[in-house]
Amino acid sequence: MFAPAAVYSANAFAGTYRQIGVETGVPNASPHQLVTMLFDGFNDAVAQARVAMQQGKIEPKGKAIVRAVRIVEEGLLANLDVDAGGKIADDLMALYSYVTRRLTHANMHNDTAALDECVRLMEPLRSAWVAIGPGAAAATKAQ
């Protein structure tokens, strides 16, 4: 009889705890860890959008996709140093712009395949970024 409330409560608090974890982790995070958090937040937002889309929940779907777009545009794209980054930065800019367009398409057309495509495109970057983590940490300590 009380199971639905308990499940709802646990789910509601899980989101809150996750947010608190992110907020408390940011001040102590290295620049490398912050970018990793952006990639993880992107994946989380897309996963939330997929679930909301499958459940026909328009508002949560839209909020999750907007969050994913903001992570890409304001977190990843806005911080690219195109002058210093050369071709790699140009390629990342094109990729991030494309992912943003596909997320918008997914939102407008309830297209889970577009969400999957965005995750597939971003995952190699996330994996590579995580793989260079130990070297980034050592370089930060050396400075």
Tokens 């639905």 -> residue: 4
pLDDT for residue 7: 35
> pLDDT below 50 — which residues of the chain?
1-22
For 111, counting Cβ atoms within 10 Å of its Cβ (0-12 exposed, 13-18 middle, 19+ buried), the class is middle
Give me the half-sphere count of Cα atoms (radius 13 Å) on the Cβ side of residue 13: 6
Alpha helices (runs of H) in 26-81, residue ranges in sequence order: 31-54, 58-70
User: In the numeric block, which tokens belong to residue 92?
Assistant: 């990342």
Q: What is the DSSP letter of 55?
A: T
pLDDT for residue 133: 81
Residue ranges of E strands in the chain: none
Rounded to two decimals, the pTM is 0.78
C-alpha to C-alpha distance for 68 and 88, rounded to whole angstroms: 22
Neighbours of 94 (CB within 10 A): 10
pLDDT for residue 103: 98
